Structure 1
């Protein structure tokens, strides 16, 4: 050990000696350089460079010191501001707590203070209002900030504005929780995030867009056959079980995340009416739904009720998926419902794909006009910014699996938090029915919570709240609509989400459209009775009533709203049996006469009213003849015809008689298409039918006004086509042609030459003439048109084509170079008769510029 230390000491000594020698050597060299410099003239450049380097080093040191001091100052300033903000925040919190305490004390003294239990009850009442489509106005009293309205579909993360967590924050939260006099835990509102209920799916869209047909495809039933005109008249609900979903989505399982797991027990689908007059029922349906299917007819795009449904969904913040329905109507469509619709589209012919792309692009533009971004579900760049569109065909089944898969995926991802099952009861009475063997029952949409046999329920009634006990719970068979099936399954207990039929006593006067409550004790019975009365009073008071008017009675809130929206004239629900009522008219007032003078007076009143009403309609000289069953339906029909731009020349109410046919026959002098009677929801007398055949008057009869209009439009198009075929040889279309002198193939009959179409267009059979030296020379008719050795039927302005002109007279054949030359303009030979025929039957084939050319040719040929 000592030897090792000795060696280390010697080594260190040696190193020190070497360093001393190096220093001595360096000093010696330095002294030699200095002595040498002293002998020579000093180098000023080197001295200046050394000074600059020293100055730069000093500047850098000063700058570093200044930056360090500035950073320290900024840090101290930041800490001081944070401390001031913290103190200010504490003062504000303390001030807020003091103000809140004083406000609560003042409210307690005035008797206006709401406890936590009362606030929770108010919150539940708000939810029930929302579930039946009633908007609750915000509170205007001092407790407005204490009551918060539930926000639907708020899945965005909220940013924490304050990152400072202090004991005072926790104290404030605990103070808010304990500030009420009563602290009651509401066990009914416990939410289970691990269990998802069946989402409520609402189907919306325009009339005849295929909404109910889509549901029929899901259920494989034919509910729509029972609807008047194929249009849903009430809200129907359908339970779709999980096994049906699994079977229908087998070809589109890749769209469902988590390896195609199904976390929901099924679907509850509500079919909404499509009529504009059922707007309130449609609004009520959408207030119950979690996710909507917006059905769009790919052939017609966005229509009136489609746009209304979009507005409704946006206003209620309801997410939706677009079903681009009726793709089977695309030209050349080849169906394959066993494959994903994306694959089916790829297998279509090119012209079918082009047709689809054209319709799809037009619909994208229509949605853009409504302020919405849409994209096909398999091309959606961002589902949070673009609504997904699924091409479907409810008739052939194409795309239905993809549509269901998109519903499942959206429900299990974006809506998972919203459709988490909760024990808090949320149920709405949808319909009241009398069932043989069960008595009066109510159909209930159970969204959350559970119902059991023996539960005491409170529902709204015509004479006030009804308290009764559940005797039986009945659910329809799977994939059956509640309002249509007669086969039910008894249950002791049902849990949301589903549709259930409840059998109980005293339901004869219950009202549909109101919530259903369960009471466990007398206090809750009294409370929920007050809730029902409050809801019903609020709804009835929301209607704008007049001092003078009729009294309206309806079975449900929805039908009452629709009744008031239509402004239908009527009385209370009274059925009158009497003689000679076969030809009575609906929509007119009823009078009671006690004397002969009153009989004569009221007869004159009825005649005056009927004459005044019929004369009030704005009729045209030329138009169809309208027959309807009531004044209300007549007004609605005329309004629809106005939208369809179909003129009306006469109207009447009641069955179609011989005199009505005689009035309609006067239009035969003008145009045969106007000699038509459109009979809406009325009978046609036998003698009127026979007389119509004799006179040549066409009668269309239907119970659905939309179909009636479609029938007339189809008849009108048929007449136009027949007239076009009849008069096509007399129709002369305008054209001006420039001769191409380098392309004269035959100068004598038949003249074959190349021309450039300067204006208008040419067709085979067009008579051609030329003005040469102010003389009109008839050359003949165009027998053929060719371009690039291909035959054409028509050629338009700007085209260069070869035409063959064949003479149609026995006169001397005209010759190019003798009777006309390259400087002359060839024109179509129009006449007064040809102009009238084109106006009457071929107006749609002419563009605006073509009509301008006709006016020019009229002046050339001096046509009056």
Structure 2
């Protein structure tokens, strides 16, 4: 009975425990469900936020793309407008030039009837705007005189041709005779020659070598007859020159007589760009040296051209070189000669040279004729549509040639024996035939009466200089008249890059040919580098001295601006600041750069390379020597440093650091930087003037004259031993507001308890000011200043620069604010 009673409560307790456990499970499940619900809501909220953020980013990107597209369209419209304006101006200039030439021709011919657009006289209109067509063989025209016009007028009834028609025909005939390709087009020239020259070509081909006379033009100069007299103005005279010293001048007057007619408005012309082409053995390098006026030039390896070079010849030097009369005008400021490699391996370089030139000189060996590279150059000339002159070089190789240094070729030929003349005729005829086989009509310049259609040949000797003056005069006197539009100066900058080099003193330099426009210091340019296009500023513009080559080593002339056409070496900052890293593999290099860029190290890297450290790596890294000395370092990990690289680094002051671990490499560099900073501080400590203002405490001036000893309170900045001190006092002169009295430098400083100190930022200190100059020693307290005047550190432009460069880590923001205020008081820019 009792046992049952006892078991009853136990069962009741057990049932209660089950209910409690069941309730606890219910609470935990509810809490779990609520937690999951909250977590789900949080996830949904984050998803919505991310979706909204993505939509915002997408919208922002779309707007930026639309804005960029709009800017691009505006730029294209602006470029199109500028191009249309440029073309319109050129068309107007061309029309004005044609009108001027037509008017000049009318004046020379004595034609008084006004012209209409079609080329005929007023009142005569055949319904066409084209030039009248004439027979392929026309008699040469003779300028009309009063008598001849009267005769024509008397014959009108019999001929049935009006006076206006004859005037119009005469004018168009004259214009056609004096007309040439404005841009030197070879295709246009060959088309223009056409059937008109068939008879002349047949006559040339059938001409006997034995009967050929090099002086035929001179021999025919005395023939009579109206047609021959009229043609005399167009045929190149080679008559004997009376004064041998002025031989070039006399021949030039004969050649270019028709070009010296006074004209109205003339365009401003730039220097023509001339490309020198030819076989490697044709002597073009020596010819270029001869054109410069010296044979002592720095040679490239093997004695052949392997890079594109540029040489500027000013008009004054050309005038001296050719002994040209002072009154004879040279329309261009000079001549820019581009030298291209002649070896067959450099065909792309030759093509690059032709793409920027206005005229070419094809150098041909008279003893060998046209060679493989010469024929290739002719094809390039035809493709690029470039006019050219043939320099028939090595005439001095003809057996028995008598040297006539720097003489015109006509004068030199007169002094040769009959055997030499005969060989010269034969070889000249062979070269002319070779050119005809390649589709070009050529003739010696002194026999060429169609200089705008037939290619000129200028026989030369690169050794003794015969014919070189003739070649120069053809380039600066004949050329500008046939390609005036091409040489017209344009303000739009047009520039072609020749080479990009690393200079041990200048850093990265870019050799360019400035075809049009002006380059100035400070201009912004875009340069292609290994790291991609870089926008940079022109730091300096260098040109070689006149008659010197751009790629030759030596002193350069510095310019603030350079005008076209010119060969220029541009010095530009083409990289960011940082150190140079060299490693043995790509993986190691990536690890080193990542470590250097980490926030704990933070060392910038501007360039890198793989493999041993060579001389060119040192030259690239040396660019930092003039920008930031602490970055003039090469970190070389697990690579060999070549001896020539070590020697160049020691000579230039570049530091090469090597180590077996990355961390040791960085630690050595860090210690190197600390050493540089400490050395700089010691070097410029005397020039560093920290800013401070001091208040003199009354009744605590212990010595009023040099040395001045007193107690002061440091009001602003930091006062140091060695700081120059001055005081500002009002001026009695109304023209001056204040007077600055220099007192000397702080020679010692101590605290109130007598301890010597070297600097103080606040509190009261005792200072001793010692004067250096007699004027400073004469200053005294109570006479020149008192306790109402504030003592100030005497700063300067130099001291501020030293603080920025060497003591920046010791300067606080309030110190720079004080310097800014003191600069105004000292009137420092």
Same fold (TM over 0.5): no
Provide TM-score, normalisation by structure 1: 0.38
